[in-house]
């Protein structure tokens, strides 16, 4: 009986080892065929379309709604016509600023990828391309975070609370937590 159990356990281990090894040792398998290795086609499309790609989570998850999501939830939030127009303007300005930055970022990633692919990378080029990419990522993130800041200023506290509930950040029975630059009851130490 023990022999049978050991054989069965060994067989299970042998059968599951390739799956475990595949998951942990080759996380980039298949990505070598990407046009730009560091970016998926979805990443490229989102950058070119001016989408947030999670760049504004610091705002979004701390009570500063994003303009696109506010527009999507306009009815549920009870936006006035004036609010709708202003949030639309914030979104349009954000998109107009983000798209060219995203395109520039994609281009720098393409150049960096090609320098490596062609074996032409040098320390100086590596330094300049990564510096440009970092600077563009910072500017792009600023565009998205600033849009959240502007959008929040257009909403009242009830609309923000409803936004958080609809986005799943707050349970319906949970009281609104302190944020949005409201004064704390105790000073931070």
- Rounded to an integer, the average pLDDT of 86-102 is 98
DSSP string, the chain: -HHHHHHHHHHHHHHHHHHHHHHHH-TTTTGGGSSBTTB-HHHHHHHHTT--TTTTHHHHTTT---HHHHHHTHHHHT--HHHHHHHHHHHHHHHHHHHHHHHHHHHHHHHHHHHHHTT---HHHHHHHHHHHHHHHHHHHHHHHHHHHHHHHTS-HHHHHHHHHHTTSS-TTSPPPS-TTPPPSS---
Looking at residue 140, what is its pLDDT? 98
CA 123 to CA 102: how far, in whole Å?
A: 25
pLDDT grade for 1, boundaries at 50, 70 and 90: low
pLDDT grade for 14, boundaries at 50, 70 and 90: very low
19, 30, 31, 64 from 27: Cα distances, Å: 12, 9, 9, 34
More confident residue, 40 or 2: 40
pLDDT, tens digit, for every residue of 132-171?
A: 999 999 999 999 999 999 999 999 999 999 999 999 998 6
Looking at residue 25, what is its pLDDT? 81
| Pick from 86, 71, 85, 96: nearest CA to 166 | 71
Looking at residue 6, what is its pLDDT? 47
pLDDT, tens digit, for every residue of 52-81?
A: 999 999 999 999 999 999 999 999 999 999
Phi, psi of 39, deg, nearest 5: -130, 135
Does this model's pTM top 0.75?
yes
CA 110 to CA 37: how far, in whole Å?
A: 8
pLDDT, tens digit, for every residue of 127-138?
A: 999 999 999 999
Has residue 117 got a pLDDT over 60?
yes
CA 91 to CA 96: how far, in whole Å?
A: 9
Has residue 174 got a pLDDT over 50?
no
Average pLDDT score, the chain: 86
């Amino acid at each position: 009986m023990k022999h049978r159990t050991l054989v069965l356990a060994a067989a299970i281990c042998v059968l599951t080892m390739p799956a475990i090894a595949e998951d942990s040792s080759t996380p980039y398998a298949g990505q070598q065929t990407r046009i730009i290795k560091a970016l998926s086609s979805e990443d490229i499309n989102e950058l070119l379309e001016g989408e947030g790609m999670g760049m504004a989570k610091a705002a979004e998850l701390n009570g500063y709604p994003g303009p696109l999501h506010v527009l999507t939830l306009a009815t549920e939030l009870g936006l006035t016509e004036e609010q709708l127009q202003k949030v639309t303007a914030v979104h349009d300005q954000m998109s107009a600023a983000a798209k060219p930055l995203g395109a520039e970022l994609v281009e720098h990633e393409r150049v960096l990828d090609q320098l490596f692919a062609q074996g032409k990378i040098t320390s100086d080029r590596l330094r300049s391309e990564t510096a440009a990419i970092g600077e563009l990522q910072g500017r792009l993130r600023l565009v998205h975070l600033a849009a959240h800041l502007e959008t929040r200023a257009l909403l009242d506290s009830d609309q923000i609370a409803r936004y958080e509930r609809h986005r799943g950040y707050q349970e319906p029975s949970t009281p609104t937590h302190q944020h949005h630059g409201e004064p704390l009851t105790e000073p931070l130490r």
